């Protein structure tokens, strides 16, 4: 039996099965947590507050993390945009192919807008935490 055709099949199935199993396990874990909370409420006990951050970070730490990742991603997007401009206009064909500029031009706004979204989230969560701004 030739194992050649089975290698890509097993690789693809393994690649997709790992995240699916992780999602199912996380769903079951949360379901058990909610059932435990429901049982505590039915018995008249006060359940602890829900904390959805698995790493136990406080809201302030999460805001600082979004600020940091927003700044880094925004700078990365601007850097990719500059790289696309340089590759399209200043670099000759013998140095790097022009398709590199196309990839950088596609990646720059994607990464830049993800960073901008993180910065907006940071600003809105800061307003929400202090009681100012439009968020309830």
Q: State yes or no: pLDDT of 12 exceeds 50.
A: yes
Mean pLDDT of the chain: 78
Asked if the structure places residue 136 within a domain, the reply is no
Is pLDDT larger for residue 47 or for residue 125? Answer: 47
Asked if the structure places residue 135 within a domain, the reply is no
pLDDT at 93: 60
pLDDT band with cut points at 50, 70 and 90 for residue 97 = low
Q: Are residues 70 and 102 in the same domain?
A: yes
Q: What angle do CA 97, 100, 105 make, to 5 degrees?
A: 140
User: How many domains in the chain?
Assistant: 2
Q: Are residues 65 and 112 in the same domain?
A: yes
Q: Are residues 41 and 86 in the same domain?
A: no
pLDDT at 135: 42
Q: Are residues 1 and 28 in the same domain?
A: yes
Asked if 117 and 70 count as a contact pair (C-beta separation under 8 A), the reply is yes
Least confident range of 33-37, 111-115, 123-127: 123-127
Question: 125-128 contacts: CB < 8 A, separation 24 or more?
Answer: 125/59, 125/62, 125/63, 125/66, 126/63
Q: Are residues 29 and 88 in the same domain?
A: no
Convert the pLDDT of each residue in 51-90 to its tens digit: 655 666 777 777 778 888 888 888 888 888 887 777 777 7
pTM for the structure as a whole: 0.46
Q: Are residues 84 and 102 in the same domain?
A: yes
Q: Are residues 42 and 24 in the same domain?
A: yes
For the chain, what is the radius of gyration of the CA atoms?
24
Q: Are residues 45 and 69 in the same domain?
A: no
User: CA-CA distance, 114 to 56, in Å (whole number)?
Assistant: 24
Q: Are residues 65 and 117 in the same domain?
A: yes
pLDDT band with cut points at 50, 70 and 90 for residue 91 = low
Asked if the structure places residue 111 within a domain, the reply is yes
Percent of the chain with pLDDT over 90: 16
Cβ-based neighbours of 73, under 8 Å, separated by 6 or more = 111, 112, 114, 115, 118
Convert the pLDDT of each residue in 25-61 to its tens digit: 989 988 998 899 899 999 999 887 766 556 667 777 7
Segments forming the whole domain that contains residue 83: 59-130
């Amino acid at each position: 039996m030739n194992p050649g055709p089975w290698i890509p099949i097993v690789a693809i199935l393994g690649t997709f099965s790992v995240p699916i199993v992780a999602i199912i396990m996380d769903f079951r874990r949360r379901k058990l947590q909610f059932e435990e909370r429901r049982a505590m409420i039915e018995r008249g006990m006060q359940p602890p507050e829900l904390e959805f951050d698995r790493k136990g970070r406080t809201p302030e730490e999460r805001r600082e993390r979004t600020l940091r990742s927003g700044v880094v991603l925004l700078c990365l997007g601007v850097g990719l945009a500059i790289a696309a401009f340089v590759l399209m206009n200043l670099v000759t064909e013998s140095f790097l192919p022009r398709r590199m500029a196309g990839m950088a031009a596609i990646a720059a706004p994607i990464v830049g807008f993800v960073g901008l979204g993180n910065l907006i989230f940071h600003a809105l969560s800061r307003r929400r935490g202090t009681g100012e701004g439009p968020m309830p």
